[in-house]
Amino acid sequence: MPTTTQLRERLRRPEILVAPGAYDGLTAKLVQRAGFEAVYLTGGGSSYSQLARPDLGLLSFTEMLTRVGLIAECCDLPIIADGDTGYGNYLNMIRTIRQYIRAGAAGIQIEDQVLPKKCGHLPGRDLISVDEMLGKIRAAQDARTDSDFVIMVRTDARAVAGLDEAIRRARLYCAAGADLIYVEGPESVEEMRAITGQVPGVHAIDIVEGGRIPLLSARELQAIGYRLAIFPNSIARTVARCASEVLQVLREQGTTAAVLDRMYPFDELQEILGMSEIKALDLQYGVTQRS
Question: CATH number, domain at 161?
Answer: 3.20.20.60
pLDDT for the residue numbered 289: 57
Largest interatomic CA distance in the chain? 71
Residue 178 and residue 131 share a domain:
yes
pLDDT for the residue numbered 123: 79
pLDDT for the residue numbered 290: 52
Residue 118 and residue 248 share a domain:
no
Establish if 18 belongs to a structural domain. Answer: yes
Establish if 187 belongs to a structural domain. Answer: yes
DSSP per-residue codes, the chain: --HHHHHHHHHHSSSPEEEEEE-SHHHHHHHHHTT-S-EEE-HHHHHHHHHSS-SSS-S-HHHHHHHHHHHHHH--S-EEEE-TT-SSSHHHHHHHHHHHHHHT-SEEEEE-BPSS---TTSS---B--HHHHHHHHHHHHHH-SSTT-EEEEEE-HHHHH-HHHHHHHHHHHHHTT-SEEEE----SHHHHHHHHHHS-S-EEEE--TTSSS----HHHHHHHTEEEEEETTHHHHHHHHHHHHHHHHHHHHSSSGGGGGGS--HHHHHHHTTHHHHHHHHHHHS-----
How buried is 216 (Cβ within 10 angstroms: 0-12 exposed, 13-18 middle, 19+ buried)? middle
Establish if 206 belongs to a structural domain. Answer: yes
Count of structural domains within the chain: 2
pTM of the model: 0.93
Establish if 30 belongs to a structural domain. Answer: yes
Residue that terminates a domain, selected from 214, 233, 252: 233
pLDDT for the residue numbered 288: 62
**pLDDT string in tens for the chain (291-residue length):** 999 999 999 999 999 999 999 999 999 999 999 999 999 999 999 999 999 998 888 999 999 999 999 999 999 999 999 999 999 999 999 999 999 999 999 999 999 999 888 787 777 788 999 999 999 999 999 999 999 999 999 999 999 999 999 999 999 999 999 999 999 999 999 999 999 999 999 999 999 998 888 899 999 999 999 999 999 999 999 999 999 999 999 999 999 999 999 999 999 999 999 999 988 988 888 876 554
What domain range is 84 assigned to?
3-233
Residue 263 and residue 173 share a domain:
no
Establish if 22 belongs to a structural domain. Answer: yes
Establish if 204 belongs to a structural domain. Answer: yes
Establish if 291 belongs to a structural domain. Answer: no
Residue 276 and residue 253 share a domain:
yes
Residue 251 and residue 213 share a domain:
no
